[in-house]
Structure 1
C-alpha cells in the first residue's frame, strides 16, 4: 500500500491524476537525466572540449541505456543523490576508452535540477491547457445560465440577489490571472542548471557560458547563470501551484455550500453514502477544498527550502524532493476535478425566478 494518497491503490482515483504522475515516474526522471548528459556531451564537443566521437558514443548509449535500478537505490542511500551511481553505470556502458568524457565538468545538482526543469516545463504546458479548458467551461456555463438569478451571500448569510454571471466571474477571473502568470513563467522560468562542482564552471573554463547556452538550446530551456543555491524559481512555481489550487478550492467551497442550501444547484454524478441511500454528496467540490488547503500548507515548506546554505545544501534540496512533486500532483488533480465539476453543473440559481 502506498504512503501517498496521490498514488494509493484506491485513493488515487479520488485524489490523483495519472497524466501528472507520469512526469514524476522513474522513467521520466531517467529520461530527463539522460537528456542532460547527451546535450552536455554535444555542447562540449561543439566547443572542442571533448572529442566528437565521445559525444556520438554518449548520445548513442543514452538512446537505449537502462540503468540497474537496485544499484541506483543503493547508491542513492549511500551518496544522498542518485547521480554518482547513475553516472558510474553510464560510463560503464560508454566504455573505458571514452568514459572520462561522460558528465565532464558537471555535478550531480546540474543533472537533477535540469531534469526537474525539463519535467516542470512539460507540467506547465499541460496545466496551461487545462486552465484553458476550464475557461471554456466557464464560458459555456455563462452562455447557458449566466442570466439566471441566485441569492448572494455575505458572511454566510443571505444578502441580495445576484446573477449567476456574478458568481461565475468570482470563480473564473482569478484562474485567468493565474494562467497569465503561468504563461509568463513558462516563457522564462525554466532555466538549465550547469555550474559544476561549486557553481563556477571551473572545469569548462572560458567555454562554460557557450556550453551552457548550447545545452539550454538543445533541451529547450532558458539560458541563465548557474542558480544551484538560488531556489526562488522553485518557490515561485510552488506559489503559483498554491494560487491555482486555492482558487479552485474557492470554487469547490461555493459549490459545496450551494449543494448544502438545497435547490440552488443541481449536480450530476454526486457521491453516494453507505448509510443514507438518498444522499448525493458533492465529493468533487469537497476534494477541491482539501487540495487547496494541502498546497497552502505545503508551500511554506518550499519557502523553508529557500534557506539553501552556501554553494549547495543537501537538507534544503531534499526538502524540495519531498514537497514539490506532491504540490504538482495536488494541482493536477484539482484541475482535473474542477473540469469534471463544471461539466456536472446542470443548473444554478433555481430557487430564485429568472429575470
Structure 2
C-alpha cells in the first residue's frame, strides 16, 4: 500500500508512470549518489588531492558495493539526510587503508543534489521524447480532420464555426513552445552541485577549481562557479515548466471532454472508460486525467516556490519540501504525456450532419 497515487498498487494503473518513476526510485537515487562518489574519487586522484591508489580502490569498491537500505533508512531518521549513513556504508565497502578518503571534501548536499541532476537528465530525455510524439499525433490529427467544421466557444457559449484545425493548433503549439524551452531548463538543472560544507570547497584548497571541472566532465554536467546549495531557482524553474506542460495538456483534455459530450458530439472517442451502471457510456477518462494532472501540478508548484526560501547557506526544511514535491511533479508530467498520446490515438472529429 502507498500514500502516493503514482505507485499505489491500484491507482497507479490510472496515474502511474513506471519509466519516469524508475528514474526517481530509491534504487536510482543510491546508484546516482554512488556515481557521484566514484567520479569524485577519480577526479581527486587525478588532480592529486587524494592518493591515486586510494581513488582506484574507492572506484572499484563502490562499483559493486552492496548498500544496506535499512541502515540508510535508520540514518535518515537520525540525521535528516541519507548521506552520513551512506558514507558509513561506502567506507565499510572500501575498507582500510583507503576508507578515510571516501567523500573527501564533499558535503551531503553535493551528493544528493548532483545525484538528482543525474537522474533528471534521463527524466527530461523521456519527457522530450514523449512531447515529440504528442506533437506528431496532433499534426496527424490536423491532417486527417483539420477541415471539419466545429463550433468555437467563448466563455462557454457558442460563438462562430471554425475549422477543427483552429482548435488542434491551440493544443499543439503550446507543447511545441514548451519543447523549445527545455534546452534552457536543462542548462539550469543539469549542473554539478559541489561546494563542500558551506560552498567554499575549503578542504580542496587551490585544487578546488581543477577537481570541480574534472568531476563535472566525468559526470557530463555543467560546472558552476560556486555551488548553488541555497539557490533553488533552477529547481523552481523546472517545476514551473512541468506545470506548464501539464497545464497545456489539461487545456486539451478539457476541450476534448466538452466536445465529446453526448449533446455536443463534435468528437468521438474509440475507447474510454466504462460505467458499472450505464454500459452505453464511453467516459472520457484520458481527457479527465489530463485535467486532474494539470490541477495537481499547479497546486504543487506553489510548494516548490516555497522551497526557494532557504535560510543562510542551507535549509533542511526547504530542501525536504523539494524532495516531497518535485518527483511527484515529474511523474505527473510523464503520465500526462503518456495519457495524451493514448487519447489522441483514439479521437476523431465528427462531420456535421447538416
Matched residue, 1:134:
134
Residue 162 of structure 1: SS of its match in structure 2?
strand
Structure 2 length-normalised TM: 0.98
Moved more, 202-211 or 279-288: 202-211
Pairwise CA distance, 1:187 = 4.1
Give 5+ residue unaligned stretches, structure 1: none
1:30-76 Cα deviation digits (max 9, x unpaired): 11000000110111111101111111111111211121111111011
Give the whole-Å Cα distance in 2 for the aligned partners of 1:340 and 1:262: 22
Give the whole-Å Cα distance in 2 for the aligned partners of 1:306 and 1:108: 19
Matched residue, 1:330:
332
Pairwise CA distance, 1:183 = 2.4
Moved more, 306-315 or 141-150: 141-150
Residue 308 of structure 2: SS of its match in structure 1?
coil
Give the whole-Å Cα distance in 1 for the aligned partners of 2:16 and 2:245: 16
Residue 57 of structure 2 corresponds to residue 32 of structure 1: no
- Which residues of 2 match residues 271-310 of structure 1 at below 5 A? 271-310=273-312
Give 5+ residue unaligned stretches, structure 2: none
Pairwise CA distance, 1:352 = 6.1
- The verdict on how the C-alpha distance between 1:161 and 1:274 changes in structure 2, with shifts beyond 3 A counting, is same
Check the 8 A contact 1:151/1:159 in 2, yes or no. yes
Structure 1 length-normalised TM: 0.97
Matched residue, 1:192:
192
Residue 50 of structure 2: SS of its match in structure 1?
coil
Give the whole-Å Cα distance in 1 for the aligned partners of 2:352 and 2:165: 16
Check the 8 A contact 2:268/2:350 in 1, yes or no. no
- The verdict on how the C-alpha distance between 1:250 and 1:307 changes in structure 2, with shifts beyond 3 A counting, is same
Give the whole-Å Cα distance in 2 for the aligned partners of 1:237 and 1:79: 28
Check the 8 A contact 1:231/1:305 in 2, yes or no. yes
Moved more, 240-249 or 263-272: 263-272
1:275-320 Cα deviation digits (max 9, x unpaired): 1111110000001000000000000000000001101100000000
Give the whole-Å Cα distance in 2 for the aligned partners of 1:107 and 1:21: 26
Matched residue, 1:342:
344
The list of structure 1 runs, each at least 4 consecutive aligned residues, that deviate by more than 3 angstroms after superposition, is: none
Root-mean-square deviation over aligned CA pairs: 1.0
Give the whole-Å Cα distance in 2 for the aligned partners of 1:215 and 1:285: 44
Pairwise CA distance, 1:263 = 2.1
Check the 8 A contact 1:16/1:329 in 2, yes or no. yes
Give the whole-Å Cα distance in 1 for the aligned partners of 2:291 and 2:39: 42
Check the 8 A contact 2:62/2:93 in 1, yes or no. no
Matched residue, 1:76:
76
Higher relative contact order (CA 8 A, sep 6+): 1
Give the whole-Å Cα distance in 2 for the aligned partners of 1:189 and 1:174: 22
